[in-house]
């Protein structure tokens, strides 16, 4: 059944999920283990990793590896541990992420942290694991977790937007390279969640807002989209429909085409025009 979703999702194959101790990463790791894959869950906090392994449970073959994805040496250690304990990797999910970087004129340390985890963490994962996946004769699957903020660029946490924009560009380029090198045997996909009640949100909101999806809903949508062969896995939520997302993305694109001010969606002079566009 799992192979019908993607040929890399065969029982007995090996999957690595970074940021896998909570949220979307944990929900995806559970699904992978439920399909019979051997799973390595990588994350920073050892206590959270132990809890994640217990939660996945049910006889699944799961290992955990404390990993700082912003550190290439730590990702090397992750790859070595997986090779030694589980074998060659067929599924890679670069999901670890953080926020709170700051706007363009603030918080240099925050910028270093957010770009280190969100962008270089994905680069490290891709460059350490994917060449071996491409060089093998096995199907492979790469999922990189982006964000709508990397597409529509809402003002506020510009560092986060930049990191997620970079993931989009990286994953697009990776998908094209893999198509050329493997003719579709190894594929890359960009997961773009909607508002999801993850650990990052729980720090600010103790209860799930009605508008938010659960991580399990995102995982379900992810696997449905993989079965469809989608590259852009653009998730809705309980407030935002696919149609709304498409219109917001289109408006942002037309800022350049029509030479409007940057981020005109949030410019008071364009407020009425944007509202009319969304209604139309």
> What's the pLDDT tens digit per position in 161-185?
999 999 999 999 999 999 999 999 9
The catalytically annotated residue of 30, 38, 148, 164 is: 164
The catalytically annotated residue of 160, 197, 254, 279 is: 160
Residues facing 42 on adjacent strands: 18, 65
Helices (H), the chain: 23-34, 46-56, 72-85, 108-114, 120-135, 149-152, 158-182, 199-202, 215-227, 242-257, 271-279
Q: Can 164 be counted among the known catalytic residues?
A: yes
Q: Which residues contact 62 (CB under 8 A, 6 or more apart)?
A: 29, 33, 38, 39, 40, 41, 53, 56
Q: What is the mean pLDDT of the chain?
A: 96
- Percent of the chain clearing pLDDT 70 (strictly above): 99
Quick: pLDDT tens for 41-57.
999 999 999 999 999 98
- Percent of the chain clearing pLDDT 90 (strictly above): 92
Token pair for 199 = 């650990």
Mean pLDDT throughout 196-203?
78
* pTM reported for the whole predicted model: 0.96
Sequence spans of domains, the chain: 2-239, 241-280
Q: Can 270 be counted among the known catalytic residues?
A: no
Tell me the C-alpha distance between 164 and 117, whole Å. Answer: 11
* pLDDT at position 60: 86
Distances (CA, A) of 84 to 19, 80, 88, 258: 21, 6, 9, 54
pLDDT band at 1 (very low <50, low <70, confident <90, very high): very low
CATH T-level fold of 2-239: Rossmann fold (3.40.50)
Quick: pLDDT tens for 219-265.
999 999 999 999 999 999 999 999 999 999 999 999 999 999 999 99
């Amino acid at each position: 059944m799992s192979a019908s979703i993607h040929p890399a999702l065969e029982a007995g194959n090996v999957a690595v999920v970074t940021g896998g101790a909570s949220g979307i990463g944990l929900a995806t790791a559970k699904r992978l283990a439920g399909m019979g894959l051997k799973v390595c869950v990588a994350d920073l906090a050892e206590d959270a990793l132990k809890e994640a392994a217990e939660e996945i449970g049910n006889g699944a073959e799961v290992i955990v590896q404390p990993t700082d994805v912003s550190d290439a040496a730590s990702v090397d250690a992750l790859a070595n541990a997986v090779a030694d304990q589980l074998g060659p990797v067929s599924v890679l999910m670069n999901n670890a992420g953080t926020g709170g970087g700051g706007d363009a004129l603030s918080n240099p340390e925050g910028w270093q942290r957010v770009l280190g985890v969100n962008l270089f963490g994905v680069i490290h994962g891709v460059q350490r694991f994917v060449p071996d996946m491409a060089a093998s004769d096995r199907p492979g699957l790469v999922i990189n977790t982006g964000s709508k903020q990397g597409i529509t660029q809402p003002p506020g946490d510009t560092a986060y937007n930049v990191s997620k924009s970079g993931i989009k560009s990286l994953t697009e380029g990776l998908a094209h390279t893999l198509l050329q090198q493997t003719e579709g045997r190894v594929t890359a996909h960009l997961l773009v969640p909607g508002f999801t009640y993850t650990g990052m949100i729980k720090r600010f909101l103790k209860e799930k807002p009605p508008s938010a999806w659960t991580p399990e809903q995102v995982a379900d949508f992810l696997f449905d989209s993989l079965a469809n062969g989608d590259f852009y896995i653009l998730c809705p939520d309980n407030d935002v429909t696919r149609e709304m997302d498409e219109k917001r993305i289109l408006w942002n694109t037309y800022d350049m085409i029509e030479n409007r001010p940057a981020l005109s969606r949030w410019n008071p002079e364009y407020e009425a025009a944007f509202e009319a566009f969304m209604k139309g």
